[in-house]
Structure 1
Amino acid sequence: MVRTAASLDIPASPDRVWQLIGGFDSLPDWLPYIPAGELSDGGRVRSLRNEDGGVIVERLEAFDDKARTYSYSILQAPFPVTGYLSTLTVHEIPGQGTARVEWSGTFTPDGVSDDEAITLFHGIYADGLAALNETLARHNHPA
């Protein structure tokens, strides 16, 4: 099993960031490469569609609103890994009114090297956090 993580400091309050990303069905609100999603199983399973039309099905494994974090596993996806578990957390940077968002995951590569799988998910996390930052900036300064 391998792990990767990406984090980004975002110039917005942790509560504001969590308000945008804390809902398990909120990915289409801030992640441009996930334009559509649908909840099922009482809100614990999300079925996502990526830009290529691929389907990704994920299950909410843990949720802590007070700590601003949730973890999810992948049930079905076009990714070369098994045993995927990911966590998205919004941390407060004391005294700055700024949020540090961390997206991490553990998984076992399947048919690819550890480095290839790490590069894939690190890219997804880093690109996703950059998109989150852009979404929040647009909402702060509408065109």
Structure 2
Amino acid sequence: MKTLYHTHNVLPHQCSSTLVQTIDAPLARVWSFVRRFNEPQGYKQLIKSCIMHDGDGGVGSVREVTVKSGLPAERSIERLDMLDDDMHVMVFSIIGGDHRLSNYQSTLTVHQEDGGGKTVVIESYVVDIPDGNSKEETCWFINTIVRCNLKSLAEIAEGRVRRR
């Protein structure tokens, strides 16, 4: 697997984690949802809406996502750093918003499972630990959101729920 993409240089004031989701759907179907930088609400159920500020969803594009109520933020501004349709890799950074996540970068890779029609999605991130929070608290919070997104991706790609 492409674990090379999930190797982060983590500084002492940062935390990082890697999460894995196996999906019972072909890689092409899973990637078709993941690669849409301009439509993250297609599978990320915590996102209410997305407005593109720059670009059309390609590398260098900037989006502003509005999150659903209940989270400690309303919006996040994000830039697409890498999108490789051949290697199935997406990297994005959070560059603004009304939250406490600084220097956040997420890497997501999609892999065909050997010998079957299943797909493995790996998402890793690195982020600064906000003042007043511990490494464990920060990772727990972000891991919860990433797990929710990966679970939702699986449900939609497997056809267990209709696209929102």
Length-normalised TM-score, structure 1:
0.90
Structure 1 residue 42, shift from structure 2 partner: 1.4
Taking a change above 3 Å as real, the CA distance of residues 21 and 108 of structure 1, as seen in their structure-2 partners, is: same
Q: Which structure 1 residue ranges, 4+ long, deviate > 4 Å from structure 2?
A: 139-142
1:108 deviates by: 1.2
Provide the residue aligned with 1:4 in structure 2. Answer: 17
Question: Helix, strand or coil for the counterpart of 1:72?
Answer: strand
Higher strand content, 1 or 2: 1
- Between the aligned residues of both structures, percent identity stands at 25
Letter in 2 for 1:123: T
1:51 is matched with which residue? 68
Tell me the residue number matched to 1:91. Answer: 111
The unaligned stretches of length 5 or more in structure 1 are none
Distance between the aligned counterparts of 1:124 and 1:3, measured in 2? 14
Cα deviations by residue, 1:73-107 (Å, 9 ceiling, x for unpaired): 10123443321111111111121121101111001
One-letter amino acid of the counterpart of residue 126, structure 2: T
Specify which structure has the higher proportion of helix: 1
The alignment yields a C-alpha RMSD, in angstroms, of 1.9
Distance 1:141 1:106, change over 3 A: closer
How many residues were matched structurally? 142
Q: Which amino acid aligns with 1:100?
A: V
Q: Which residue of the partner structure matches residue 139 of structure 2?
A: 118
Q: With structure 2 as the length reference, what TM-score do the two structures score?
A: 0.79
Matched, 1:69 2:85: no
CA distance in 2, matches of 1:23, 1:81: 22
Q: What displacement does 1:141 show?
A: 8.3
Greater shift in the superposed pair: 94-103 or 133-142: 133-142
Q: Tell me how far apart the structure 2 counterparts of residues 138 and 61 of structure 1 sit (CA, whole Å).
A: 29
What is the CA–CA distance in structure 2 between the aligned matches of 1:80 and 1:133, rounded to whole Å?
Answer: 28
Structure 2 spans left out of the alignment, 5+ residues = 1-13
Bigger mean CA deviation after superposition, 78-87 or 103-112: 78-87
For residues 96 and 57 of structure 1, the distance between their equivalents in structure 2, rounded to whole angstroms, comes to 37
Name which of 33, 40, 43 aligns with 1:27.
40
Distance 2:113 2:156 in 1: 20
Deviation at 1:134, TM superposition (A): 1.4
CA contact (8 A) 2:155 2:161 kept: no
Rounded to whole Å, the distance in 1 between the matches of 2:162 and 2:37 is 26
